[in-house]
Chain A
């Protein structure tokens, strides 16, 4: 046994102002402290390195990568942007057409966000402010949408869209995304509405405002942070989605989303890996940029129910 165990550590006088730094750390604390540092470094490496790898491969020439696959850095002399040029140029000009795919993804995601927000603001307001029969059952909505495998929904939607000739249509795809995102959006917004004092709305109602007026003039401006966070989350889901895009759009190359484009091309051997890495960066960057802009709001919006256990 070494000297500095818990029992031998001098007890700190209770009347001294608490200063954690000065108290000698016991061996137990040092062991756990070291473990903690190792864990933190390990987690940082595990989460960040794959993205660094993505970025590095996207600017290295393919011949260099095949020659030296183990390098995680890139020397300034070998940096190339040809990969990005190739991946973004349209198919007609000999590229991979990712600029167009980005446009498609942005369109689908934006439509999804707008429709979802409109529907979920109204829905969340009803669930959090109005008394009606079946209000308690709104959690059921959640269950129904997320319990069934998306692939189960995909089959009849595939049949339906084929019959209506809507397969390959970006707006039809957006409607499917709305159904997938509206329950979680209502959940996030409802949690936020619950924190806005009702008295404000009641005052406005007494002053002769209509319910829709209340939502538009009071609830909406006050819940801006939550609206942004929810909108962002929905955008992320729609931008990243793969299965429905694969099923509905695969035959319409001009309507491919970025996710679909990347997955389709990564199967072929003609496109060099580094070019596809550039495609991955192009696919990931908008999401990461948006995420870092609104990270705090997003995290609070998602977990605001979790503190209560």
Chain B
């Protein structure tokens, strides 16, 4: 039928016209830059010869040799993974606990629910500044209280010390202090995001299953473990992948808290340093491609395991 065909084509044309501003911006500001980054990663571009930097040039693998051969590349990658996994799990765990605690109504729940989103909506520069002041060994409130009420022998340099030895049940344990602090910050800042999604799902769950299980005399923990949690798994899986991607690429939070020092040099901070401190644009591009590549591998593995698990269960 030619008439419906033209109608369909008309509609299709209109759709592309409506989408064209979006596509234009995304192509210019995202797609072309990504392609250009790939090209830059294979060229020798520095800040000094930036004017001549173009899409085509003399391609070589030198930048990748620089990146893989540079000191601390692997440890930085490992730091990124630890930081990402810790922050992702931490924020989702707290978000889940918060959603369960606020599931049933109580007086002031609306207010608290809104207040709990503050860490997420507040500007990152402001909250990292508050944290670094609060954790400051000289005039921070945490160390002031810790030494006064908790009996700390001396102030703890949370953001500037790489390894910290604590006596735990008589055994000295060394922990990566600054990295743990940064992970704690990240969990604090992003648990509201997980909380929002989990509580929305939680409140849409049908109550019948829970009630039936209650009549059967199950415990609260059993009902959570075998009824509520399985129903939350899809949204938790979605959150895991979203938070993993965002945290893996994160720059601001770590940069603002520690500047990448004291064992918190995640890959995106290395990219920034290649770009600004060493003014080696080619190496920065190569390093950021490696970052994106590793992320893609992680996601692919995750999706495959998730799919496999979905098939077996």
Chain A residues packing against B (C-beta within 8 Å)? 6-7, 28-29, 32, 36, 39-40, 43-44, 46-48, 50-51, 53-54, 57, 65-66, 69-70, 72, 118-120, 122-123, 125-127, 130-133, 135, 141, 144-160, 162-163, 175-176, 178-179, 182-183, 186, 211, 236, 239-240, 242-243, 247, 258-260, 262-263, 266, 273, 276-277, 280-281, 283-284, 287-288, 291-292, 295, 299, 302-303, 306-309
Contacts and interface: CB of A to CB of B under 8 A. Distances in A.
Contact of A51 (B14, B122, B288): B122
Given A144-B30, A152-B291, A123 B21 contact: yes
A154 B37 CA distance: 9
A182 B288 contact: no
B62 interface: no
27 contacts: A28-B219, A39-B97, A39-B101, A48-B115, A50-B119, A50-B130, A69-B140, A123-B22, A147-B292, A147-B299, A149-B249, A152-B292, A153-B29, A155-B281, A156-B32, A160-B36, A259-B123, A260-B125, A263-B125, A280-B130, A283-B126, A284-B123, A287-B121, A287-B123, A291-B114, A303-B196, A307-B203
Given A119-B21, A126-B19, A153-B30, A284 B122 contact: yes
Contacts of A157: 29, 33
Nearest to A159: B53
B15 to A, nearest CB: 4
B89 to A, nearest CB: 17
B98 A149 contact: no
Given A36-B101, A239-B123, A295 B114 contact: yes
Given A36-B101, A155-B37, A146 B245 contact: yes
Given A151-B272, A291-B117, 10 more contacts: A53-B141, A66-B138, A70-B145, A72-B141, A126-B15, A131-B11, A147-B299, A153-B30, A240-B122, A280-B126
Interface residues of B, number: 95
A69 B196 contact: no
Contacts of B306: none
List of 6 A-B pairs having minimum Cβ-Cβ separation, nearest first = A70-B144, A179-B29, A149-B249, A126-B18, A132-B15, A156-B33
A162 B123 contact: no
Nearest to B132: A266
A146 B246 contact: yes
Interface string B191-215: 0100011001101100000000000
B77 interface: no
B285 A155 contact: yes
A163 B112 contact: no
Nearest to B219: A28
B249 A53 contact: no
A262 B245 CA distance: 27
A43 B129 CA distance: 21
Nearest to A147: B245
Nearest to A291: B121
Contacts of A266: 129, 132
A83 B145 CA distance: 25
Contacts of B29: 153, 157, 175-176, 178-179
A57 B246 CA distance: 32
Contacts of B18: 122-123, 125-126, 130
Contacts of B156: none
Nearest to B13: A132
B131 interface: yes
A135 to B, nearest CB: 7
A3 B153 CA distance: 46
A218 to B, nearest CB: 15
A286 B14 CA distance: 39
B14 A126 contact: yes
A127 B245 CA distance: 25
Contact of B26 (A48, A159, A182, A283): A182
B217 A6 contact: yes
Contacts of A6: 217, 219
A263 B251 CA distance: 14
Interface string B27-52: 01111111011001000010000110
A65 B15 CA distance: 60
Contact of A151 (B11, B21, B28, B251): B251
Interface in B118-171: 118-119, 121-127, 129-134, 138-141, 143-145, 148
Nearest to A299: B196
A119 B22 contact: yes
B251 A309 contact: no
Given A39-B97, A130-B11, A243 B200 contact: no
Contacts of A163: 50-51, 53
B188 interface: yes
A273 B114 CA distance: 28
A239 B133 CA distance: 22
Contacts of B275: 151, 154-155, 158, 247
A240 to B, nearest CB: 4
A309 B112 CA distance: 24
